[in-house]
């Protein structure tokens, strides 16, 4: 994966960020793409979204160390703004090209359940684009046959400024993580 040139995103990113976790995990958790800190460290979910995920996962009884964490797209896509690198959403072609790696991770780990966080993960796993707010909390099929439970992305929670909207979305996210734990119990 370090040598991947399947799409142009490798040109500007520091490195590809593969998934990490037990290779026999029952649960695979899929995010969008590495962020700034993940791109620099080479590990998924170590930045602010990862820290929020860890906090809410703890409340939901989900042990991060027991899950395999990865992303739908393995390189960071950004636009430079001065010294900052601003996140850009991967497009359908980038998601499709990177699906080769996601499928390979699913084939190796063979999880019982995949938790898709956000619309990009949902698209990479199911092949279907569409708003995540109406799909979250539900299970969708993936071509590998592994069921995917769809939920919000923790970065979405970080972006919400209205306190009520933030509390509601956080509760929904926590409920979805609890549902994943229950489905595997
Ligand atoms: N957001 C993601 O979707 N994945 C990461 O690894 C970090 C932030």
Q: Are 74 and 98 in contact (CB under 8 A)?
A: yes
Ligand 1 atom closest to the Cα of residue 44 is: 6
Task: Give the integer Cα–Cα distance in Å for 23 and 20.
Answer: 8
pLDDT (tens digit per residue) in 10-22: 999 999 999 999 9
Distance 13 CA to ligand 1 centre (A): 14
Residue 38 Cβ < 6 Å to ligand 1: yes
Average pLDDT over residues 125-133: 96
Encode pLDDT of 73-108 as tens digits: 999 999 999 999 999 999 999 999 999 999 999 999
User: What atom in ligand 1 is closest to the CA of residue 71?
Assistant: 4
What spacing in Å lies between the alpha carbon of 66 and ligand 1's midpoint?
18
| Cβ–ligand 1 contact at 33 (below 6 Å) | yes
Ligand 1 binding pocket includes 70 (Cβ within 6 Å): no
Ligand 1 within 6 A of CB of 30: no
Average pLDDT over residues 62-67: 98
Q: Where are the alpha helices (DSSP H) in the chain?
A: 36-41, 48-60, 92-109, 119-126, 154-159, 163-184
Q: Is the CB–ligand 1 distance for residue 73 below 6 Å?
A: no
CB of 71 closer than 6 angstroms to any ligand 1 atom:
yes
3-state DSSP assignment of residue 28: strand
């Amino acid at each position: 994966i370090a040598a991947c040139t399947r799409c142009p995103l490798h040109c500007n990113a520091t490195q590809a960020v593969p998934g990490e976790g037990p290779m026999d995990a029952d649960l695979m958790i899929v995010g969008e793409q590495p962020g700034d800190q993940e791109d620099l460290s080479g590990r998924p979910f170590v930045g602010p979204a990862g820290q929020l995920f860890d906090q809410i996962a703890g409340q939901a009884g989900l042990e991060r160390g027991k899950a395999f964490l990865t992303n739908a797209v393995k390189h960071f896509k950004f636009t430079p703004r001065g010294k900052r690198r601003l996140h850009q959403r991967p497009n359908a072609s980038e998601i499709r090209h990177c699906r080769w790696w996601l499928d390979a991770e699913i084939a190796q780990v063979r999880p019982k359940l995949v938790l898709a966080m956000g619309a990009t993960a949902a698209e990479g796993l199911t092949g279907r684009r569409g708003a995540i707010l109406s799909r979250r909390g539900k299970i969708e099929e993936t071509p590998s046959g592994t069921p995917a439970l769809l939920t919000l992305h923790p970065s979405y929670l970080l972006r919400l400024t209205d306190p009520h909207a933030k509390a509601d979305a956080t509760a929904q996210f926590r409920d979805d993580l609890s549902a994943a734990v229950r489905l595997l119990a």
